[in-house]
Amino acid sequence: MHTKHMILILATVMSATVVAGAQTRGAAPAGNPVSQGLRESWDGAKLNIKESGEQMPEANFAFKPVDTVRTFGQILAHLAGANYVFCAAAKGENPPHAEDEFEKTATTRAQIVKAVADSNAYCDGVFASMDDRKLAETIDMPFNMGKASRAKALVANIGHNNEHYGNLVTYFRLKGLVPPSSRR
């Protein structure tokens, strides 16, 4: 996608987020509406993933609907690693953990939930450190995605979490359970 198109899409999404936030809280964030909108989007994606790990019974962490996909636990472990990769790129540093590290090492519910919590805390710090000016700075994107804005790395991380939350919702439903976002 061309940079101009990505900027237009990002501006549209963030404007909608700011408007929606203003409608629910009474006023738009002053000064840095794009970074504030990204933080709010991150908070929603993060909450769904966090609560997925907390609500799924440990016995179901090994569940996968077919042999060719990740287990419930592997999806969460994958997200923990990917959070570090995307957020480290936005921060401008090497990731402290590899994308596949937790899929290889975290095998229990407790280990996976901790890996997710720790990666969320790392990303929280990155999101908190951003303002609209900083989001526009160019960085090297992870996964050989070329150069782009810090915003693109954080938008990609939010999208990645939401994409896999969709997988987790399906796993919840296949087990006859209500996923976190529907419970709320």
Per-residue pLDDT for 106 more than 70?
Answer: yes
Q: Which two tokens stand for residue 147?
A: 């150069």
Per-residue pLDDT for 159 more than 90?
Answer: yes
More confident residue, 12 or 170: 170
What local confidence, expressed as pLDDT, does residue 161 receive? 98
Specify the pTM.
Answer: 0.83
Per-residue pLDDT for 127 more than 90?
Answer: yes
pLDDT band at 29 (very low <50, low <70, confident <90, very high): low
Instruction: Among 5-19, 20-34, 113-127, 142-156, name the one with the lowest average pLDDT.
Output: 5-19
Q: Sketch the domain layout of the chain as residue ranges.
A: 32-183
For residues 118 and 133, give the distance between their C-alpha atoms in angstroms, rounded to a whole number: 27
Instruction: List, for residues 44-100, the tens digit of each pLDDT value.
Output: 999 999 999 999 999 999 999 999 999 999 999 999 999 999 999 999 999 999 999
Per the prediction, the chain carries an average pLDDT of: 88
What local confidence, expressed as pLDDT, does residue 13 receive? 44
Tell me if the domain spanning 32-183 has CATH number 3.10.105.10.
no
What local confidence, expressed as pLDDT, does residue 31 receive? 87
The DSSP code for 184 is -
What residue ranges in the chain does DSSP mark as E strands? 138-140, 147-149
Per-residue pLDDT for 118 more than 60?
Answer: yes
In contact, 168 and 179? CB cutoff 8 Å:
yes
In contact, 109 and 53? CB cutoff 8 Å:
yes
Mean pLDDT of 107-134: 98
CA distances from 166 to 160, 161, 174 (A): 10, 9, 13
Q: Which two tokens stand for residue 116?
A: 């997710």
What local confidence, expressed as pLDDT, does residue 20 receive? 43
Q: How many CB atoms within 10 Å of residue 55?
A: 15
Residue in the block written with tokens 């006859």: 176
